[in-house]
Amino acid sequence: MTLSDSKLSAALDVMKTNGAGVEVDNVTVSFGGVTALSRLSFEIKAGEIFGIIGPNGAGKTTLFNCLSTICRPRSGSVRVDGQELVGAGTGELVRLRIARTFQNLGVLEKADPTENILLGRHSLMKAGVFSTSLRLRKALHEENEHRAKALEIATMLGLGEYIGRLCEVLPYGVRKLVELGRALASEPRLLLLDEPVAGMNLHERDVMVRYISQINARGTTIILVEHDMSFVMKLVSRVLVLDFGEAIACGTPAEIQTNPRVIEAYMGHSHDGRF
């Protein structure tokens, strides 16, 4: 069950934020003798939904790994709101309020949706190890507050009927929403979505479009990597196209769909028309 647009909008109002701007400047990443990204540069405006597409092996995941500090470029700069991420650790991601979902689901199979989403709140918790381990009143009060917030997010994403059920028995599309909920739990200013509708059916994809649009409407900057072109083109304001680690085009969906270099990269030959 999903919330109506008005109820979803009201639920997301408490998560209003100022989106983060992103600058990628002359980034090169190599693995051995293979160049995964070559002198890549682009900018993303705060509050934008920005898509990254390209054939398999184009460098999309490597770029996402640079944006989330998993991968360190050989050269170049990655900045979020002017803060350098190259060489930074996960603590900087927390401070800048950057959250990510992954291509391969990382939900805890032996936990229910609320418990999974609660994990995303850890960066917002103030109680220390001592008070938490001793179950002091202040720590218990904070835990209850964050658990209530996790339940609110689960309900907002239409997961209410699955609360109390282990994620290992839930449908794939539902687990994708659980992972989205865990990312939202950290109240991100920049949300990185790695193939958010992979493996979903048509209805589940439509639901995801709705949620992403509403999340973005609350100010969050969103970058998504996805192979489903119809999904990408109906959501994003601009698209970056990668091929063999290089940017071959960046523009609006209409511009990208008629770009000869993009069509050739996808079709393998020159083609007049849209893909």
Bridge partners of 50, per DSSP, are: 223, 238
One domain, residues 92 and 169: no
Residues 6+ apart with CB under 8 A from 171: none
One domain, residues 144 and 195: no
Residue 38 lies in a domain: yes
Residue 214 lies in a domain: yes
Give strand ranges (E) for the chain.
Answer: 22-31, 34-44, 49-53, 75-80, 83-84, 98-100, 190-194, 221-225, 238-243, 246-251
Bridge partners of 84, per DSSP, are: 79
| 4 CB neighbour count, 10 Å cutoff | 8
Residue 33 lies in a domain: yes
pTM for the structure as a whole: 0.85
One domain, residues 165 and 115: yes
Distance, C-alpha 216 to centroid of its chain: 11
One domain, residues 224 and 269: yes
Question: Cβ(20)–Cβ(81) under 8 Å?
Answer: yes
Give strand ranges (E) for 87-199.
Answer: 98-100, 190-194
Boundary-marking domain end, from 143, 159, 186: 186
Rounded-to-integer distance, Cα 177 and Cα 258, Å: 33
Bridge partners of 75, per DSSP, are: 28
Strand 221-225 to 190-194 pairing: parallel
Sheet holding 34-44, edge to edge: 34-44, 22-31, 75-80, 83-84
Q: What is the dihedral of CA 110, 115, 120, 122, to 10 degrees?
A: -110
**What does the pLDDT profile of the chain (275 residues) look like in tens digits?**
455 565 555 555 555 678 999 999 999 999 988 999 999 999 999 999 999 999 888 999 999 999 999 999 999 999 999 999 999 988 889 889 999 998 888 899 999 999 999 988 877 666 554 455 555 566 566 777 878 899 999 999 999 999 999 999 999 999 999 999 999 999 999 999 999 998 899 999 999 999 999 999 999 999 999 988 889 999 999 999 999 999 999 999 999 999 999 988 876 644 443 34
Residues 6+ apart with CB under 8 A from 230: none
Total number of domains constituting the chain: 2
One domain, residues 93 and 199: yes
Provide the residue range defining the domain that includes 116.
109-186
Residue 172 lies in a domain: yes
Give strand ranges (E) for 45-105.
Answer: 49-53, 75-80, 83-84, 98-100
Boundary-marking domain end, from 162, 186, 210: 186
Three-state DSSP at 83 gives: strand
